[in-house]
Structure formats: structure tokens, C-alpha cells
Structure 1
């Protein structure tokens, strides 16, 4: 039985090995194959160090340095086992080097694309280790942490644990540079959280900012914002929050045939959802809306918006026409 110090050195060697490079995973495959061949042949098993060097061509420093380089990478991360993920999480938690943390997050992000690993990372208490990187002073580390959370949040069980980080992700979205990678990465995670109604209530205070980004953002930002807003608009319980949110009048400029179809179609789906839910609201209670609310921009003075819809009827796309029909018939 090895000492605790030996175990610690092995863990560090393993963790750094997980982050090596594109040749590493192929090396792992050959490593496993060689080991199996030797077991079948009954031959002596060479040391892990020698095998790593043979199958990857990477130089492996001596044991006294406490590092064994490269035998895994994210090329096929579904092969990562519990001890591999645990080692990378340990490296992410302990390392003070930004590039090491980034590579660890890339490895974890690729691994988290597989449902089995999503559960495994949760069971290893990895969610909080990864989410804590949202406070990292290095922007690229935060972006990669959000990318990992994007994959992890496709898992309903993970969402239950990760929901405590929604306010931090919303704050990143609100305070970061317009159209930055950080904004896009934040919106992707929020899109996953908005698929069900479970966490909509945590986003309602940020709806005015969503609408502001919808007007000011690039097409990529617009599409991501609309994915979130459409998910919210499908929830009747959030309808009033959406309609009462402050909205820029310039929002109407997006209802134009020159706007990218992906943006325009989603805009119309959003309005159609709101119109349907508004009719349900009006059957139960009458609300008053401020003059700068989304309700007032779209439905308060109906003439500008109706004029926009009239022009869009000539738009040569059946999906767009279908959503216009949904709006008009309501």
C-alpha cells in the first residue's frame, strides 16, 4: 500500500495528464489495447510511465517531479472514468494558473456533453467547484465555466443544484460588455434553465434588461435573448411580468422584412404567445400598464404595431405568415 504522499503525487500526475493534448486520447486507447494484449499474452506489464511514452510520444518526467504528462484529452471524453473526472476537478480547485484552469474546464465541458458524466460530476460535488469559477478574475475562465454549466444544466437533476447560481449568471449578463462571449455564454445557460417553468420566477426582474439587449445586441445576442423570452412567454404565470416590463419603443423597428428571419420569426412567436396569454389574463383580471411597458409598446397604441404586421403579411415565408395569423386571430 502506498503512502498518502504517493497517492497525492499520483492524483496530480493523473490530473495534468488529463489536460495534455489532441494526441492524448488516442494514446489512452493504445495504452488500454497494449495492456489487454499483454494480459492475454501473460507478459510482464511495463510501468505506466513507459506505456505513456510509447503510445503518445510525450516525454514523461521522473516520479520525483510529481507529473506525468498526457494520456487523455477531450477528443472522446465519454471514456473518462470517475477517477479521471475527480482528478481534473481537484486540479481546477487547487490550481492558481489560469491556463490550467481553462484547460481543466474545457475537459470537463466536453465530458459534460455526455449524460452519464453529467450525473457523475454532480455526484463528485463538481457542480459547485465549476460554478465557483464564475467569480474568476480571468474572463476567459468565466466563459469556459459557463460553457461547462451549459452542458450540465441540460440535466434536470443538475438544475436543482445549480439554480442557486442563476442570480450570479444574470448579474454577469447585466454587467458584462455588450455582445461579449461572456454574454452569449450566460444566455445559453439561462436558455436551459428557462425550458421548464421551474425557475422563471428567478428571471422576472431581469426582463427589462432582456428587452434592452434584444434591441441593442447583435443577431447572435438577439436570437439567444429570444429563446429565453419565448420560453418565459409560454408560461401564463409570467405573462403579466413580461407585459409590464419596461421596453424600448425602438423594439418595433425589429418587426421588419429586412430583419434576419431567425430573429423576426422568434419575435413573432413571442408576441403570439403573449397575445394568447393576454386573452387569458383579461378573462380573469384587468391590469393597468405603464406607458413604457411592453404591453403599451405592442398593444397599447395598436396602430404602429398593426402597421408593421400589415407590411409583414407580404413576407414570403410560411412560418412567418403562420405566426402573424396567430397574432391577428387573437
Structure 2
């Protein structure tokens, strides 16, 4: 399936780029500002098409892309086709600019639909595996925005997007900025429980970022994704048995960052609520605590004094939501 998806993406790029060339001809005849270079597709018509290209005198790729604003409003279907066609360029700098335009345009639901209809999703997923880390980051940002759309999520599932996202997220040589973009994409995908099972291999990576030594934006984005996963009761055992650095969790609970505290407490509260709702015995976590540090042993093991102490302190926090969540977790742990 993965191989067929990649092949489909390549085929789509060829087809769409040709269509975008035709769209350019139409735009030129109407004196539109948005242009794209055409590609010659038939050997028999080489001379004829060469003459046509010289008559059209299209703008160079650099000039063309300068006419595409980095922030756009609602696109027409023709403009969406042209933008998607531009994804076939081999120039990484130009490609990043097109991806940024698509990411900004995807803030609108209508544009999300148009990008999908123009065949952009397989191309964006293909670029997520680019050899250029900068292109990968730009593609992740674009995908993150177009993914907040139910029909697009269905299409991305068919393209096995989760496999690609997990693979790229688990790459050891990624920069923090690329990881952050991938985490945003993962978070948007994990809003729907339909994605949870296929995204489970990413959980250990998310847990590693629950460490005070990690950049705060990576901590926060990981927690946002973990909150999404913890809302699914069917994943309780997979999450509660994950290996975790106990000292890291305790230190994060003493963080001054309101957003991090809210997400971490929400995550712990979701786990505690599911345990009580499903009447899962605490005994198995007591036994587990002697072997390794997991969320189960941190929350229900033999040595929970530090956790309870931090929660007691947070119950008097100046932020009412943090105070209420800390109290809720404390009650569900005892």
C-alpha cells in the first residue's frame, strides 16, 4: 500500500503539472496575474509548442512566485490548480514559498477543499519525505492546516499519511523546528480517534519530550497530542504502561508555564478518570512500579508522595482551572 501511495503521488504530480500548464494558458488569455511555466508533454508537437511558449512568454519561476502572496484569501479553483501545479518545481526555495502560500491559504475551509480537489494532498505528503529538511518543514505546516478538514483526513488516511508522519517524527537528525511542525501535524490528526491506532508508534517520542530540558514549545505540543490520545478510553492501557521519566513529570508539575500545567493536568485527569470508569485495579500498577517507571507506577505505584505533594500545592494555584484540575486528579488517585 505504501509503495502504491508513493507511486500515486508521483503520477499525480505529473498530471497536475500538465494541467497547471494549460491553466496558465487560460489565465494569460484573460490577463490574470497568476502564471506558471508550461511543460512540453508530447514529442510530436515539440516545435509547435516551442513556438507557443515563446508567444506566451511566461514569467520566470522567480517572478511568477513573487506574484503569489504569502498570505492569501479565498482561492478560485483555477488558482488552486496553479498552486498545486507549482509543487512540481525542483527549486527548493521556490517550493518553500509555494508551500507557505498553501499553508496560509488553508486557513480557509473552502481553500482546503480546493487544494484536495486539485490533487494537492498526495503531493504534499510526497514532499513530507523530501531530502530537504526545510521543504519537509514547509510541507508539514501545509499538511497541518489542510488536515483540519474531515474529507481531507479521509483522503490522507487512504494515502497512509500516519505511516509517513510517524516515520519522519522518529528521525533522530531532525531539527527542533521540523519536529515542532511534525508535532503540530500529529496533533491535528489525532483530534479524530480514527487516527489513534495508526499513530500509536509516535507515543514514545511524545513521552520523551516531557522533560524540563526540552524546549517548551516541544513540551507543549507533545502534551496537546497526548491529551487527544488520552481522551480515547480504548488507549488507556497503551498509555498507562508507557515508560516515563518520573522526575521529569514531577518537575513539569512545578512549571511556571500555565499552558504546560493545564495540558499535563488534563492528561493525568483523563487517565485517572478512565481508570475509575473502567474499574481497573490499582494492584497491577503497584506490582509494575517495582520493575520500571511508567505512568501507571508514577500515578498508582508505591512511591506517589512526590506527585501528591505537587498536586496539593497546585490545588491552591492562582489559576482556577489549574486548581480544579489538580483537585480532580488528587481525588482520583486516592
Counterparts of 1:186-201 in structure 2, within 5 Å, are 186-201=182-197
Q: Mean Cα displacement is larger for which, 206-215 or 152-161?
A: 206-215
Residue number in structure 2 paired with 1:117: 111
1:285 Cα offset (Å): 10
Q: Is the 8 A contact 1:143 1:181 kept in 2?
A: yes
1:247 Cα offset (Å): 0.9
1:117 Cα offset (Å): 1.5
Q: What do you get for the CA RMSD once the two structures are aligned?
A: 3.1
Counterparts of 1:133-282 in structure 2, within 5 Å, are 133-163=127-157, 164-177=160-173, 180-215=176-211, 216-282=213-279
In structure 2, C-alpha distance between the alignment counterparts of 1:297 and 1:187, rounded to whole Å: 25
In structure 2, C-alpha distance between the alignment counterparts of 1:248 and 1:177, rounded to whole Å: 22
**Relative to 1, partners in 2 of residues 1:327 and 1:102: Cα closer, same or farther, differing over 3 Å?**
same
- Whichever of the two has the greater Rg, that structure is 1
1:255 Cα offset (Å): 4.2
> Residue 157 of structure 1: SS of its match in structure 2?
helix
5+ residue gaps, structure 2, are 1-16, 35-52
Q: Is the 8 A contact 2:106 2:112 kept in 1?
A: yes
Alignment of 1:327 onto 2:310: no
Q: Is the 8 A contact 1:246 1:293 kept in 2?
A: yes
**Relative to 1, partners in 2 of residues 1:89 and 1:109: Cα closer, same or farther, differing over 3 Å?**
same
Alignment of 1:67 onto 2:63: no
1:207 Cα offset (Å): 1.7
Residue number in structure 1 paired with 2:7: none
The correspondence for 1:308, drawn from 307, 310, 315, is: 310
Deviations 1:9-68 (A, max 9, x none): 9828949x9xxxxxxxxxxxxx9xxxxxxxxxxxxxx9839x89xxxxxxxx97464436
Q: Is the 8 A contact 2:255 2:261 kept in 1?
A: no
Q: Is the 8 A contact 1:9 1:67 kept in 2?
A: no
Q: Is the 8 A contact 1:204 1:242 kept in 2?
A: no
Q: Is the 8 A contact 1:91 1:101 kept in 2?
A: yes
Residue number in structure 2 paired with 1:57: none
TM (norm. structure 2) is 0.76
Q: Mean Cα displacement is larger for which, 105-114 or 175-184?
A: 175-184
Q: Is the 8 A contact 1:249 1:292 kept in 2?
A: yes
**Relative to 1, partners in 2 of residues 1:110 and 1:74: Cα closer, same or farther, differing over 3 Å?**
farther
Q: Mean Cα displacement is larger for which, 314-323 or 180-189?
A: 314-323
1:80 Cα offset (Å): 2.5
In structure 1, C-alpha distance between the alignment counterparts of 2:21 and 2:87, rounded to whole Å: 13
TM (norm. structure 1) is 0.77
> Residue 48 of structure 1: SS of its match in structure 2?
coil
Q: Mean Cα displacement is larger for which, 284-293 or 316-325?
A: 284-293
In structure 1, C-alpha distance between the alignment counterparts of 2:74 and 2:104, rounded to whole Å: 11
Count of residues in correspondence between the two structures: 286
**Displaced runs of 4 or more, over 3 A:** 7-10, 12-15, 61-66, 68-72, 176-179, 255-259, 283-290
